[in-house]
Structure 1
């Protein structure tokens, strides 16, 4: 008997028509049966937000003719997309969820804010192996062609080997031509953050308003980090866990005099 194709859920945070998700769908169609459930509009920076006080819609849509996947546009967040896909759309639990390809970096601290990675984390919470893919190019005209080879290699490995319970992969791809990418490097998340400022302005009616600005600062000099890998021409792969417990501090915390 022919081997059953894996069922692959595809989502993102840039919206269902974004070039990044179209590239990801193309690769996934080579590997399995694809169902797309993605936001109907950009949801970048939404983190793990979910819709609880508004009506949620999820409608079938045809973005491009003559492609085999089924597609649905959802009025909610990336995490909403995964929830509604698994509860209402899919006929069985997917073998894999892939999110992206994001327009812009989700390395280091960016993973906290990322809608792309929150979709992957939501899938992980539901026991589905998951990967978030991001390209270090924020442009809507970004070239995703050089990423496809590496997206396929990483996805094939996850389908073959699986992932530990509670772990998802955060994959970032450098903005380089395929022949310039040196390979794939397994990394840790760099200790880096945004130093933020607000650009304060006043509108014609005299009301103050603000634009969030800032710069990204990394003081992590390790050569085992995602930031180092990307700066040196590698695809970075960071295993991410959604258990936020600081296990190393539990013993010390138990020594505090809470009950005195």
Structure 2
């Protein structure tokens, strides 16, 4: 009998978030599941790691039928690192992160704890996928995207994710009948135009609240933003080698 795939599940919204519970329910149908996720929300942490503080790891029982489930006090990247270094006795066949409450398309991949966890797994040679739904509500409905998660995950396991690549999958906020399919696409060029709202605390101390507007600068029809705006699930193959290879030749011509 063939061994079931071992799947590591994590996220950045916290171990009790509905998104990760939905993801776990799908992964339990595919393989043996180990969950290591933050004990509280860690959105926007990017690839942060804990180096000036201690980490705690608590075994919890939220879902029955799991191999093991742990709540970690650290960041999403900490969760992957401690899973590989302290919990697992063999390398997972797949790491899935999410389902994130909110978009991780375009430039958001840089800030995303969800995607940074997937990237950390990829950097360790583990095939990895980050899943996100364009709905920030804690009560977002994930049921209708479960079949799509199942299909993408099975294809990734059967066909293999290319080496040094991690999948960034975003779901539009649409019903299953409205979703047209999956588009494999590139990351749109976009940015955040940010401001800081200056406020005064009841004790008279100044503090700031970050605000921002997402600006899509890309008019291409081969991007994740276009796909999501037009009823498709976007799948962007993300490469964690950040070298600008096409620039090397021209920079070598400089007088250095």
Q: For residue 204 of structure 2, what is the aligned residue in structure 1?
A: 206
CA deviation string 1:168-227 (max 9, x = no partner): 000000111111111011010001111111111122333221111111111211111000
Alpha-carbon offset, residue 91 of structure 1 = 1.7
Check whether the contact 2:34–2:66 (CA below 8 A) recurs between aligned residues: no
**Contact 2:191/2:217, CA 8 A, preserved across alignment:** no
Structure 1 unaligned blocks of 5 or more: none
1:54 correspondence with 2:53? yes
TM-score (norm 1): 0.97
Equivalent position to 2:79, from 78, 81, 86: 81
Distance 2:185 2:162 in 1: 17
Alignment-derived partner of residue 133 in structure 2:
135
For residues 142 and 204 of structure 1, the distance between their equivalents in structure 2, rounded to whole angstroms, comes to 34
Deviations 1:122-172 (A, max 9, x none): 000000000000000000000001110111111001101112221000000
Q: Which residue of 1 aligns with 2:231?
A: 233
User: TM-score, normalising length from structure 2?
Assistant: 0.98
3-state SS of 2:156 partner: helix
Moved over 6 A (4+): none
CA distance in 2, matches of 1:16, 1:164: 29
Show the counterpart of 1:21.
20
C-alpha contact 1:146 1:176 (8 A) present in aligned 2: no
Aligned to 2:184: 186
Quote the RMSD (CA, aligned, Å).
Answer: 0.9
What pairs with 1:63-78 in structure 2 (closer than 5 Å)?
Answer: 63-64=62-63, 66-78=64-76
Answering whether residue 29 of structure 2 is matched by residue 33 of structure 1, we say: no
SS of the counterpart of 2:183?
A: strand
Q: Report the secondary structure of 1:178's partner residue.
A: coil
Aligned residues: 256
